Structures are given as C-alpha cells and as structure tokens.
Amino acid sequence: MKRLVLAVLAAAAFQGAALADTVKIGVIGPFSGPFALQGKNFKAGIDAYMAMHGTAIGDDTVEIIYRDVPKADPAQSKALAQELVVKEGVQYLAGFYFTPDAMAAAPLLEQANVPMVIMNAATSAIVTKSPLVVRTSFTIWQTVTPTAQVAFEDGTRKIITVVSDYAPGHDAEKAFQAGFEKAGGTIVEQLRLPMATNDFSPIMQRIKDSGAEGLFVFLPSGPPTLGFVKAYNENGLNKAGIKFYAPGDLTQESDLPALGDAALGLRTTFHYSIAHDSSENTAFVAAARKAIGNPAELSFPSVGAFDGMHVIYKMIEATGGEADAQKAVDAVKGLSWASPRGPVSIDAESRHITQNIYLREVSKAEDGSYINKELRTFEKQGDPGLAAAK
C-alpha cells in the first residue's frame, strides 16, 4: 500500500515537472466588440515576437491563452484572470487594454504568485496596486507632458483643453495643465465632453469664442476623433490660427486613412510611430503586419505587446520556467533593450517603462499612405504621473 502511494506521488511529481516545461501566459484584452482592433494589435505584437524569437526558452515552451473582455469590465477581467490562474495554471498574466481591468486583476497577483505585464492600460497608478505589476506601454502623463512643452515653445500662451469625460480624459487634462502652467502658460477654459458626442461644431464655436490661441484635446480613438478633426477644419479653426495639440492616441495609424488629408500637419506626441526609423522597427513592422493580415490595421498597442513579450521571455529565462513571481519581476527591474520604438528600460522603482517620447507630424509617405513622421525626440521620459499623485 505504502509503495503504491509513493508510486502515485512520484508519478504526480514527475508529471508536475513535465507540466512545468510548458509555461503558459494568459493574455486578457478586447478581442471582440468595438475595441477588437486593439485586441488584434495585442495579438499581432505577441505573434510577431514569437515568430522572431521562437516559442522555446531553454527547455521550456511558451503557450499563450487568450481571454476576451470586449469593453472595460473589471468584474469580468478579475473572473477571467482567476480562471486563467486556477484552471489553466498560467504563470504570467499579460495584456489589459483598459485601466479598470488591470486594477481589478492586480490584487490577485501576490496570492497567485503571478506577475502581470501590462501591454496598454495607461493610468499611472496601476503599478502601485501590486509590486508584481510591470508595464511596457505608456502612461497618459508620459505622452501628454511633452505636448505642453511643445505648445509653450511654439509661443502659444493661452490654451483651451477639450477632453472626453472619462478617467483617461481627466488624466490628460491634468497632465497638460500641470506641464503648461509650469512652463508659464495659461489655461483659459477646460471643457469635458460626454463620450457619445457626435457633432463637434458647437464645441468649435465655443473654442473660437474662448479667445484661446491653441487647443489641447484628448478623445477616445475612432469616431469621436474623426468627428473632432473634421469639425476643426470645417469650422475654420486651423485657418483662424488656433493651434492643435494632442497626444498620439488621436492620430493612431489605424485611424489615419479615414482622417485623410484633414489630419495632414497635425502634430502629436507619443511613444511610438510605425514610421520610426530603425532596423528594429523595420523588422518588427514586417513581422507584425504579417501577423495582423491587413497592414492598415497595425497600431500602437502592438508594440506594447511586443515589448511585453520581451519582458516575459526575460522573466522566464531568469526563473528557468519555475513559478516565482517576485524573482521574475526583480529580474527585469532596470532591464534595458532596443525596442522598435527606440531605446527603452524598465524603471527599477516604478516598474514602468522609461522611453523616448516623440513629437510627430501627420504627413504623406512616398507611397501615398499617411504616417506619423517624427520631428523631435524627448529622450528617456519616465512617468511624471506617479510623482504628481504623491
């Protein structure tokens, strides 16, 4: 009897060891619904990384398990994260397009002994929710702060801010205000618009009447962005010399064909342009376009996912495929590498990515497609949002 129990235990142990040879990564993101394009970009970034670096790390094989949260839904995100850890036995959680989804899953990490690699969600505070969170995307404070500097250096002194009335919009409003007022400019008015705004003409009139020399805007990408940029041109704001400042979410590459000539000349600040000129980026774009199918659909979340995979591969290397979340996270603190977006590193203290932020202008490439052409580089930007929250 004793021998039998031992045999069973040994078999179980052996099987356990064999199972560890496959390291599972659970990716949560919007793979259906109105934000499916962003989820598709996660997948393209991940597929591109695995196509370029293989699926084997030492003796271990990496396996990705996708879970769909179509729109910001903290309860579902938490439930799926739990399911991934308990039922699928994932060693890493990754993805997370929306901040509330990441926030909801973060408290599970320590007990589950699982690190989380955020590939998009852009609110500064997420990294403070658990010591096992690492982020490879950007924060709104990080991309917006240089915009304020650009505006001031342009000679613009009076700005009106226009944001969608949701948390990222409020973040952008605060970040711009902080940067612009610190430089010495004045915010003449702050507008918050409902998410479901279709007609921006009255807003344009309001902007004109405010006496501002420039506007700062942050809206969710897709239909609102298109409507806003069109209204900006049609109501003669560009002719009136009211300057346009926004972070690059507004001119993401997948929206540019629809924006067309209306967007030409718009300047935005962001961490990544598909037109970034480097050999790493050329290789990445080729692989990611192949993975996504339609080249016009490639956009910034793909690079967050690509670098997220890089971080996870380094974690797996450091732990030898064993489940040790703290060791994995410690291994990537201070890690620096050449990303498709430029040189990046993981800040040891905040576990957020330090990267270059670029000032870009929407222009026409030689082949007639629209690109975000990089004009200027703000090097090694950390996340000012965390400091601002203290």
- Of 126-134, 167-175, 178-186, 199-207, the window that binds other proteins (rule: CB under 8 A) is 199-207
Nearer to other proteins, 54 or 236 (CB): 236
Residues 84/221/307/319 CA torsion (nearest 10 deg):
-20
289 binds other proteins, rule: CB under 8 A: no
- Of 112-120, 133-141, 255-263, 354-362, the window that binds other proteins (rule: CB under 8 A) is 255-263
236 binds other proteins, rule: CB under 8 A: yes
**Pairing between strand 353-364 and 267-270?**
antiparallel
Among 74, 89, 131, 222, binds other proteins (CB under 8 A): 222
- Of 43-51, 86-94, 220-228, 309-317, the window that binds other proteins (rule: CB under 8 A) is 220-228
Residues 369/375/377/382 CA torsion (nearest 10 deg):
-60
**Pairing between strand 370-381 and 133-135?**
unpaired
Q: Tell the smallest beta-carbon distance from residue 241 to other proteins (Å).
A: 15
322 binds other proteins, rule: CB under 8 A: no
Helices (H), 54-139: 74-86, 99-105, 109-112
Q: With contacts defined by CB under 8 A, how many residues of the chain interact with other proteins?
A: 36
The H or E element containing residue 66 is: strand 60-68
368 binds other proteins, rule: CB under 8 A: no
What residues contact 114, with CB distance under 8 A and at least 6 apart?
85, 90, 91, 92, 93, 108, 132, 323, 325
Among 209, 322, 349, 379, binds other proteins (CB under 8 A): 209
- Of 254-262, 271-279, 315-323, 362-370, the window that binds other proteins (rule: CB under 8 A) is 254-262
364 binds other proteins, rule: CB under 8 A: no
- Of 135-143, 221-229, 277-285, 355-363, the window that binds other proteins (rule: CB under 8 A) is 221-229
Distance set, CA 354 to CA 104, 137, 348 (Å)? 24, 10, 10
203 binds other proteins, rule: CB under 8 A: yes
Q: Tell the smallest beta-carbon distance from residue 12 to other proteins (Å).
A: 44
Report the C-alpha gap between 293 and 192 in whole angstroms. 37
**Pairing between strand 92-95 and 116-118?**
parallel
The footprint of other proteins on residues 268-287 (CB under 8 A) is none
- Of 58-66, 123-131, 148-156, 202-210, the window that binds other proteins (rule: CB under 8 A) is 202-210
Among 58, 107, 211, 260, binds other proteins (CB under 8 A): 260
Q: Which of 323, 329, 331, 326 is nearest to 17 (CA)?
A: 323
The footprint of other proteins on residues 15-74 (CB under 8 A) is 33-34, 36-37, 40
Nearer to other proteins, 105 or 266 (CB): 266
Among 193, 305, 316, 359, binds other proteins (CB under 8 A): 193
Number of Cβ atoms within 10 Å of the Cβ of 177: 18
What residues contact 175, with CB distance under 8 A and at least 6 apart?
140, 141, 144, 145, 148, 384, 385, 388
Distance set, CA 85 to CA 105, 129, 154, 320, 332 (Å)? 11, 18, 50, 19, 22
Report the C-alpha gap between 354 and 342 in whole angstroms. 11
Q: Which residues bind other proteins (CB under 8 A)?
A: 33-34, 36-37, 40, 165, 191-194, 196-199, 201-203, 205-206, 209, 222-223, 226-227, 230, 234-236, 254-255, 257-258, 260, 294, 296-297
